[in-house]
Amino acid sequence: MPYQADSDLREFVQSLPKTETHLHMEGSLPVEMLRRFDPSKLSPPPPFWADDYRYETFYSFMDMYREYSKNVFTSAERYHEATAIILGNCQKQNVRYVETSFHAGILEFIKEDGPTVIRAIMEGAPKGMEVRVFMGISHDAYYGVVKEAIDDCHNWEELTGVDLHGPEDLPVEAWVPETWARTRAAGKFNKAHAGEFMGADFVNRMLDELKITRIEHGVRSVENPAVVDRLVREKITLDVCPISNVKLAVEGIPSMSAHPIRHLYDKGVSVTINSDDPFFFGNTLSEEYYALYQDVKFSKAELVRIARNGFNIALWNGGEKDACQAQLDSIESNLI
């Protein structure tokens, strides 16, 4: 990766208790599992690991995604094994709280039900880490066993909520707001991907139609100051993934230094930073912090505040969370 840090920055980022609230299981495909179950994919190495690699379109990214992950995520047991590696890597970076999602579409292939997959993920998580699991649902996923799962998921105790995935330009059919309303009524916490490949209007629309307070990406909100004002006024948090945005060549983000997270943060929007699909972007969460410091001119104090935003919005109540926030307070006060 391009984001090498000197030892001072490395130690500083490592010292921050962190959250990861935008992480796809399949996009975090562990290399060691690929080596075992589909080794030909590693020789030659995946092209997208090159620093200057840019996906041509979101659809070409989706094709790669399926191609590389299909022979690894074939059972709940594999999710369990993958989770131990993926979240183990997060824990090594001092991540204390994670919200991750699995794709509803896999239920068609693995012949196991959603709660079984969720339990496999929860049980694979390392001790001492708080984990919440979401089901990622694509705009066009309403068919067969996936539809049955979507219709039933408000009953799944293990499920934290649903997250709208996939190409944003596909229609949002009536079942989407219905599903979001039904799961919300059952006490779930829902999210949606928006403002990555569609503009600020789509963010507005998802806030209206899905009644959510969390948007995955949302970076194109900057195109409309009224939408940015709304994010601030309604305390909507954006789970931003800067390296992902650059590698996917999101409109308006030709390079890291042009990333709109600077503007959003300065306007008072609550933002978190996350790694999204680390296998497909060759990134780590720590590198997201290095990128903001080195290329987007965030100070160390601002990095602390971004880390704190993650705990502020965490679906986690407990002494450990307070301890993480207290630790961030103390790191920040030592900077001044």
Q: Which helix (H) or strand (E) holds 136?
A: strand 130-138
> What string of DSSP letters covers 224-281?
-HHHHHHHHHTTPEEEE-HHHHHHTT-TT-SSGGG-THHHHHHTT-EEEE--B-HHHH
State the Cα–Cα distance between residues 280 and 207, nearest whole angstrom: 28
Site for Zn ion in 252-291 (CB under 5 A): 276
Opening angle at CA 220, ends 214 and 221, nearest 5: 60
Residue whose CB is less far from Zn ion, 26 or 332: 26
Look at the block and give the residue holding tokens 């041509």.
Answer: 56
| Rounded least distance, CB 84 to Zn ion, Å | 22
Q: What tokens appear for 283 in the block?
A: 């990134």
Exactly one of 81, 168, 196, 332 is catalytic; which is it?
A: 196
Q: Is 80 exposed, middle or buried (0-12, 13-18, 19+ CB in 10 A)?
A: middle
Residue whose CB is less far from Zn ion, 9 or 203: 203
| Rounded least distance, CB 22 to Zn ion, Å | 6
Residue whose CB is less far from Zn ion, 26 or 276: 276
Which phi and psi (to 5°) does residue 305 adopt?
-65, -35
- By Cβ distance, which residue is nearest to Zn ion? 276
**Catalytic residue at 32?**
no
Number of shown-chain residues binding Zn ion (CB under 5 A):
1
| Rounded least distance, CB 102 to Zn ion, Å | 12
Residue whose CB is less far from Zn ion, 99 or 276: 276
| Rounded least distance, CB 284 to Zn ion, Å | 16
Q: How far apart are the first and last CA of the chain?
A: 31
Residue whose CB is less far from Zn ion, 191 or 308: 191
| Rounded least distance, CB 198 to Zn ion, Å | 14
Residues forming contacts to Zn ion in the complex (CB under 5 A) are: 276
Residues designated as active site: 196
